[in-house]
A and B are shown apart, each in its own frame.
Chain A
Amino acid sequence: AQSVSQHNHHVILSEAASLELGCNYSYGGTVNLFWYVQYPGQHLQLLLKYFSGDPLVKGIKGFEAEFIKSKFSFNLRKPSVQWSDTAEYFCAVMDTGFQKLVFGTGTRLLVSP
């Protein structure tokens, strides 16, 4: 069974700072990878996804993530964060066989203006 680790539980940044959130997964087979965002009081929204091809994936709101297969990692990045990026970020991995989606524990990001 697959598992996901997000090592940063809480991150505090000032506006315009750069962001990188770590995500590592454990699974021996082919996977699809996702980052979801949850703004306070709102439902999960898809930020970006990796299925195949170019390992550098661009998502909405200026976010991007890079899939490094050899490291089983899918880190999320943004060059310059805004106050509105304050939210909880979840990395998730899906096995392509059974389509089971497993989430990490999440990273809470607080951006101070």
Chain B
Amino acid sequence: EAGVAQSPRYKIIEKRQSVAFWCNPISGHATLYWYQQILGQGPKLLIQFQNNGVVDDSQLPKDRFSAERLKGVDSTLKIQPAKLEDSAVYLCASSLAGFKGSSGNTIYFGEGSWLTVV
């Protein structure tokens, strides 16, 4: 079974530039997550999709971050304009679970997109 695919793996940009990350979840997985992991910290949830609808984006800095999941499959996460503190690994994850009431589901993570803002 193919895992969660992410690209690009590495990106270096200057502050105030924009960047986009792409994620292809495991086939058939309804729920998709984007996490931000700053060096030395645990992953922090940015946004959670259920099919193509947003379940939780309470920690997404909406003035500069945006995400979409068109057709309920692939997803893109965009940062514009980037700040130095956005340097982190951006993790995409997916799970089979449906919304509410589907316990016992495991979330699978991609390898991450490493962003350095200089």
Residues of chain A at the chain B interface (Cβ within 8 Å): 4, 30, 32, 34, 36, 42-46, 49, 51-52, 90, 94, 96-106
Q: In the complex the two chains form, is B109's CB within 8 Å of A44's CB?
A: yes
Q: Is the CB of A103 within 8 A of B56?
A: no
Q: Any chain A CB within 8 A of the CB of B77?
A: no
Alpha-carbon distance A100/B43, docked complex (angstroms) = 12
A32 touches B103 (CB 8 A): yes
* Residues of chain B at interface, number, CB under 8 A: 30
Label chain B's interface by main secondary structure: loop
CA distance A97 to B48 in the complex (A): 13
B56 close to A98 (CB less than 8 A):
yes
Q: Is B42 a contact of A105 with CB atoms below 8 Å?
A: yes
Chain B residues near A4 (CB, 8 Å)? 42
Distance between Cα atoms of A99 and B56 in the complex (Å): 10
A72 to chain B, nearest CB (A): 18
Q: List 18 A-B contacts (CB under 8 A).
A: A30-B103, A36-B109, A43-B111, A43-B112, A44-B109, A51-B104, A90-B42, A96-B101, A96-B102, A97-B101, A98-B48, A98-B55, A99-B31, A99-B48, A99-B100, A99-B105, A101-B33, A106-B42
Once the chains are docked, how many angstroms separate the CA of A97 from the CA of B97? 10
Q: With an 8 A cutoff between CB atoms, is B12 at the interface?
A: no
Closest chain A residue, CB of each to CB of B97: A99
Q: Which of B33, B55, B103, B109 contacts A43 (CB 8 A)?
A: B109
A93 to chain B, nearest CB (A): 12
Select A94's contact among B44, B100, B107, B110, beta carbons within 8 Å.
Answer: B107
Kindly list chain A residues whose C-beta atoms are within 8 Å of the C-beta of B31: 99
On chain B, the residues within 8 Å of A30 by CB distance are 103
- Please give me the residue from chain A that is nearest to B31 by CB atom: A99
Interface hub of A32, A44, A94, A102 (most chain B Cβ within 10 A): A44
Which residue of B35, B40, B41, B102 is within 8 Å of A99 (Cβ)? B102
> Which residues from B are CB-within-8-Å of A102?
45
Inter-chain CA distance A102–B58, complex, in Å, is 13
